[in-house]
């Protein structure tokens, strides 16, 4: 593993609120809001990982994790997925993402998950800084990125795009890509599921578990 010292903002509260506008995909944005941070920095280890499998109720989604471009974000995702971060406050399980749902789905835009409460108001209890790479942009579908409420307010909520979304450039950290056509077909199928007026699927789409792929696997 490589060691990287980076700022990590630790929150006084665990609340995250997904408040993005619904409707037109060109105007909508994945968001998660939270109170101000209380501690400015922490040291993190960046694992040697290559990807992950999101095991969902609709099928598996294979993703490539971009550890070099977004080391802090990938570290956060891996730690939550593998149970090395805070436990899921709803289930008490160490593996934070297991059993969570895609609580917000907008056709021709994105699918959003990572909230342990499934309400759009949940998170891990901290937030951390954005990571932007000049070689990455929302110019293609199948990008895995962090939901936030503004600069440096990332937590646990993430989204996967189903179309180019250039209006998100410079606003959301991209930390992965859907790895193959079969996985993208699963994402596309989730994106067209029936939803209510709040963009919540009428039948839960569950993220059953996440398997991280390490470089030495």
- 3-class secondary structure per residue, 89-153: CCCCCCCCCCCEECCEEECCCEEEECECCCCCCCCCCEEECCCCCCCCCCCCCCEEEECCCCCCC
Cα angle: 63, vertex 96, 64; to 5 degrees: 10
Q: Which residue has the higher pLDDT, 88 or 43?
A: 88
Q: Which of 76, 103, 128, 172 is catalytic?
A: 172
Residue 149's pLDDT band, with cuts at 50, 70 and 90, is confident
Catalytic residue at 3?
no
Domains of the chain: 2-214 (2.40.100.10)
Whole-number Å distance between alpha carbons of 99 and 103: 12
Please say if 158 is a catalytic residue. Answer: no
Q: How confident is the model at residue 39 (pLDDT cuts 50, 70, 90)?
A: very low
pTM given for the model: 0.84
* pLDDT tens digits for range 82-137: 999 999 999 999 999 999 999 999 999 999 999 999 998 889 999 999 999 999 99
159 is catalytic: yes
Residue 172 falls in the annotated catalytic set:
yes
Q: What angle do CA 14, 17, 19 make, to 5 degrees?
A: 170
Active-site residue flag, 168:
yes
Whether pLDDT at 183 is above 80: yes
Annotated catalytic residue within 11, 66, 88, 104 = 104
Considering only CA atoms, give the Rg of the chain: 16
Q: Of residues 65, 159, 171, 175, which has the active-site annotation?
A: 159
Instruction: Tell me the mean pLDDT in the region 162-183.
Output: 98
Does residue 115 contact residue 123 with C-beta atoms inside 8 Å? yes
The catalytic position among 168, 171, 175, 200 is 168
Which of the residues 76, 80, 88, 112 is marked catalytic? Answer: 112
SS3 category, 174: strand
């Amino acid at each position: 593993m490589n060691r990287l010292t980076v700022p990590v903002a630790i929150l006084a509260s665990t609340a995250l609120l997904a408040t993005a506008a619904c409707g037109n995909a060109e105007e909508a944005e994945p968001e998660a809001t939270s109170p101000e941070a209380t501690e400015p920095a922490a040291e993190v280890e960046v694992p040697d990982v290559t990807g992950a499998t999101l095991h969902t109720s609709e099928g598996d989604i294979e993703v490539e994790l971009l550890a070099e471009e977004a080391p802090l974000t990938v570290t956060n995702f891996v730690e939550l997925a593998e149970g090395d971060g805070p436990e899921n406050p709803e289930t008490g399980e160490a593996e934070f993402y297991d059993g969570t749902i895609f609580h917000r789905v907008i056709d021709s835009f994105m699918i959003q998950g990572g909230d342990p409460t499934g309400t759009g108001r949940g998170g891990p209890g901290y937030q951390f800084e954005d990571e932007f790479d000049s070689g990455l942009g929302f110019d293609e579908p199948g990008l895995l990125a962090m939901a936030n409420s503004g600069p440096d307010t990332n937590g646990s909520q993430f989204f996967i795009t189903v179309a180019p979304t250039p209006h998100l450039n410079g606003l959301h950290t991209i930390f992965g890509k859907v790895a193959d056509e079969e996985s993208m077909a699963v994402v596309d199928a989730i994106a067209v599921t029936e939803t209510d007026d709040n963009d919540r699927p009428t039948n839960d789409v569950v993220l059953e578990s996440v398997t991280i792929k390490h470089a030495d696997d």
